[in-house]
Amino acid sequence: MIERRRLLLMRHGAVDYFDDAGRPWPNPDQLPLTAAGEAQARSAGRAFAAAGLRIDCAITSGLARTRATAEALLDAAAASPPVEHWPQLQEIRAGRLPAIADADLEASFLRVFQGPVPREVRFLDGESIGELLARVLPAIAALLARSDWDTALVVAHGGVNRAVLSWFLTGEPTFLGGLAQDAGCVNIIDVGPTAATSVIRVVNFCPADALRTETRLSTMEQLLLQYLKLRRAAAAS
């Protein structure tokens, strides 16, 4: 019988990428969690505690929003595993938003998270899907090669999580953009000896809103609407 370990793959809690006028946060690596984002992390921690999950190790991308999510979650779960920070798991990098023409803006925001995405497609004229896969998947393989855990928590990002889930689903370095990864969501993967023998148990479970009643827009659709406030104000001035 196949023996499996459990990977708890989480997206960080909610943050404000743009202010009310549509201006981007000046240093996205240091984005703090919103009050809702901290509540999402604590809700996940309480769910873990109620289920009796024992977390042997925790890994974040090192960016402020993943560190804060892990800290709040582990506090709520009354868990204190060793925590590591792996920059290979940082989110796909965007280019310069002001350099994107108005006519290209919608495609630049949305095409990277629609359907099977070609490796050459770039996120907001920045890092490509192929470049993301090339740094994320070896890091996950390195985690799976370790023998010091039975249940591991990884707190990462929407794009990163899609790359990992797509690999487990297909066994190939591919990217399925339509896999929703809402703020504070948890994915559960029971990891076998290979990707093909692994079982994806849960995808995009949000303990604070399990039925996702708040919106039917994707994350990137919501962010596009926020950023368009700035472009429209500039066009009107």
110-148 pLDDT tens trace: 999 999 999 999 999 999 999 999 999 999 999 999 999
Domain range 5-236, CATH class: alpha beta
178-217 pLDDT tens trace: 999 999 999 999 999 988 899 999 999 999 888 888 889 9
What is the DSSP annotation of 165-207? Answer: HHHHHHSSS--BTTS---TT-EEEEEE-SSSTT-EEEEEEE-T
Per DSSP, the three-state class of 56 is: coil
- pTM value? 0.96
Q: Are 10 and 156 in contact (CB under 8 A)?
A: yes
Q: What are phi and psi of 141, to 5 degrees?
A: -60, -40
pLDDT at 196: 85
pLDDT at 212: 86
47-85 pLDDT tens trace: 999 999 999 999 999 999 999 999 999 999 999 999 999
Q: Are 89 and 143 in contact (CB under 8 A)?
A: no
What is the rounded average pLDDT of the residues 88-111? 94
Q: How is the chain split into domains, by residue range?
A: 5-236
Angle value at C-alpha 29, between 33 and 160, nearest 5 degrees: 85
227-236 pLDDT tens trace: 999 999 988 8
